[in-house]
Structure 1
Amino acid sequence: MTTLIYVPGLLSDARVWREVAEGVGGDFVIADVTTQNSITAMAESALALADGPVIPVGHSMGGRVSMEMARLAPARMAGLVLADTGHNALAEGERAKREAKVAEGRADMAAMVKAWLPPMVGASHHGNAGLMGELTDMAAACGPEVHARQIGALIGRPDAGASLGDVTCPVLLLVGDEDVWSPEPQHREIARMVSGPSDVVVVDGAGHFLPFEKPGAVVTAMTDWLAANRLG
């Protein structure tokens, strides 16, 4: 049996994937990426959640973890789903910006989340008090120490692009059309870099938190992809 391993991203927990995972169904687990100090350690922890073939399903930072899972255990990959993510190594000036966010979180986590979250969500959802409230609660609940640990992992992340050519399993890339953090062209570049068959699905009216903003669209895209590749 193939297990879908859902991997949350930065300042996220199982809530970001729960509705999608239950909608897609099948054998699944949702990883916890709040306790590890590196992307590799997160990937190792996620791989240990299941035996046999797996399909990592990663959002944002979780997409980087999923690509690392594919690097560490290529023979176990039945497929790979990457949502609103990136593959590049640390960019010039990125460390300082991320460390500044850590400092903001340590000083006042609620204020940091309030400033950080809106650009991560599609503009059409900014007026959705329920959705914004749930995302705010989830991010704030992680706290400044988890935030600092995850930012440290992202600063020290491996260059995922260096191993994408070794990915031979089917790959599905999902991105919201309003995602300004990890935009569509980034996903199309990943699709060109992998050696296996790849599909890119752009979801209208969603930003970086696509699985939370448009879970129904993600369920449909994943279900169709799983069926087309006989992975269901």
Structure 2
Amino acid sequence: MSQTLCFLPGLLCDARVFSEQLRHFDGSSAIDGFGARTSLIDMARHVLESGPERMALLGHSMGARVALEVYRLAPERVDRLALVSTGVHSLQPGEADKRHALRDLGVAQGAGALVDQWLPPMLSPPHRDDPAIMAPLRAMCIESGVAVYAAQITALIDRPEVETLLPTITCPVLVAVGSEDVWSPPAQHAAIAEAIPHATLTVVPGAGHMLPVEQPDALNAAIAAWLAQPTRH
């Protein structure tokens, strides 16, 4: 049975964050955001219900955590896995308070205020001032809105433990990160790749956390190499 390349977006994002990947890879698809779901497991079930039967699954940021839950629920449907700009650690001290503070800012002042504080640090410094990159990202995140942010941070705060899952993954895995990602830095991804058998680490120069948008050609090259690897189960 053939596999379909399927992209899973992160917090406040939808399929637009993968525009360059969807154009580049014929027949690929993307989950168009996770809406107001408040559980990573519910998001994973949505992928299994609406996604292709056999998947080469790429998740970005929160979407990578969802991809891991898809693998946990139905490993036989995941032929290969890509974890991009993400983490696998449990809830960190102060993390919930910071996420709730942004939620409260959005409730008080609107989605624009929330996004204008949250989004710029997600990009490498040169891209923060590039309207061709920032304007579409900002519009997408504002369109998602405060209620979606509140729901999705609940899913992230209540996330399942995943570190013990990593050594059990038997399919080819790509772990990719931007060199300028301060939210999920390269060292964090190196540890993820080391924990997973058959994982390949790619660090893309000049990109922050929004790697699919900031350096799409480099990410597409890494995806193509990953897709060319033989499958394992």
Q: Normalising to structure 2: TM-score of the pair?
A: 0.94
* Mapping 1:170-181, distance limit 5 Å: 170-181=172-183
Secondary structure at the counterpart of residue 82 of structure 1: strand
* Mapping 1:54-133, distance limit 5 Å: 54-108=55-109, 109-133=111-135
Secondary structure at the counterpart of residue 154 of structure 1: helix
**Alignment match, 2:143:** 141
CA contact (8 A) 2:12 2:144 kept: yes
Computed over aligned residues only, the root mean square deviation of the Cα atoms, in angstroms, reads 1.5
* Mapping 1:151-190, distance limit 5 Å: 151-190=153-192
1:125-168 C-alpha deviation (Å, 9 max, x unpaired) = 12211211111101111111001000111010111212112111
Distance 1:31 1:193, change over 3 A: farther
CA contact (8 A) 1:54 1:77 kept: yes
Aligned pairs, how many? 230
Distance 1:47 1:3, change over 3 A: same
Instruction: Give the superposition deviation at 1:22.
Output: 2.3
Distance 2:181 2:230 in 1: 27
**Alignment match, 1:4:** 5
Matched letter for residue 200 of structure 1: L
Task: Identify unmatched segments of 5+ residues in structure 2.
Answer: none
Instruction: Give the superposition deviation at 1:171.
Output: 0.2
1:8-36 C-alpha deviation (Å, 9 max, x unpaired) = 00110110012212212234343431131
**Alignment match, 1:225:** 226
- Deviant stretches of 4+, over 4 Å: none
Matched letter for residue 194 of structure 2: R
**Alignment match, 2:199:** 198
Distance 1:206 1:194 in 2: 24
**Alignment match, 2:50:** 49
Distance 2:40 2:67 in 1: 9
Task: Identify unmatched segments of 5+ residues in structure 1.
Answer: none
| Percent identity between the two aligned chains | 42
